[in-house]
Structure 1
Amino acid sequence: MHIAYWILAGLLALFYLYAGGLKVSRTQDQLRPMMAWVDQIPMPAVRLIGTLEILGAVGLILPPLTGIAPVLALVAAIGLALIQVGGIVVHVSRGETRVIGLNIGLLAAAVATAWLATSWL
């Protein structure tokens, strides 16, 4: 189970470091072509989401790697799953049901990672 955790957590961490980094570092105009929803959400909230994604990615890797508070990996995976639930709600409310495939895939991966993270407890 540890190997499966590291594979899935590593892929999720890479994705969320990239996506969160974009949300934290780019302007609204730079994000708009990739994420049309940034027009309806205040930029401080977008920056907060990006920061939470980065913290979630770090939380998936560092606690199990160091052995310090490995329960934080489970908390991080649950947090990333909740971010995707929020993303699905935003897309559905905007009538963008065709684009929630990525959100559903990331939600499933985060839930699977949370389940695998219980092996660290």
Structure 2
Amino acid sequence: MNITLWTAAGLLTAVALAGGITKTFVPRARLSAQHGGEWTQQASDGFVRTLGILELLAAAGLILPAVLGVAPVMVPVTALCWVALMIGAMITHGRLGQSGLVLVNAVYLALAAFVAWGRLGPWSFGG
């Protein structure tokens, strides 16, 4: 189960890293022209960039605390924050009628909930 939890955290880290880099460094006008990025038409540059930075922090928080042995409780805390972020993403994409992206976000939410459950419970880093 430990390997499965690490794999789930690694997958979420890749997703967070890709999304974070995109939202932080790609101009909003270019994002809004891409499928799935239509929501950025109604958002400010600062909001999109802030979400990108939060996703970059999530990428770090899902792996580094456990790898470095510094505050490993931050892994499940970050996973719970990712759950909240995915709820927002699901609402946003749902309002735009993007049911496929809602489903993708639901999968990410389930992975994050699994990581949070496992790392707060039976497979925590503390014991």
Q: TM-score range by the shorter chain?
A: over 0.9
- Deviation string 1:7-28 (CA, Å, 9 cap, x unpaired) is 1111110111011100000001
Query: 3-state DSSP class of the match of 2:63?
Result: helix
In 1, Cα distance between equivalents of 2:103 and 2:78: 22
Counterpart of 1:46, as a letter, is: V
Cα gap change, 1:100/1:120 in structure 2, threshold over 3 Å: closer, same or farther?
Answer: same
1:100 aligns with 2:102: yes
Letter of the structure 2 residue corresponding to residue 72 of structure 1: M
What's the CA shift for 1:98?
A: 4.3
1:21 aligned residue: 21
Q: What percent of counterpart residues are identical? A: 34
Within 5 Å, give how 1:1-121 maps onto structure 2: 1-32=1-32, 33-34=34-35, 35-118=37-120, 119-121=124-126
Unaligned runs of 5+ in 2: none
User: Mind listing any 5+ residue stretches in structure 1 that lack a counterpart?
Assistant: none
* Kept in 2: contact 1:4–1:116 (CA 8 A): no
RMSD of Structure 2 on Structure 1 (CA): 1.3
Taking structure 1 as the reference length, the TM-score comes to 0.92
TM-score for the superposition, normalised by structure 2? 0.88
Q: 1:94: Cα distance to partner?
A: 2.8
Query: Larger helix proportion, structure 1 or 2?
Result: 1
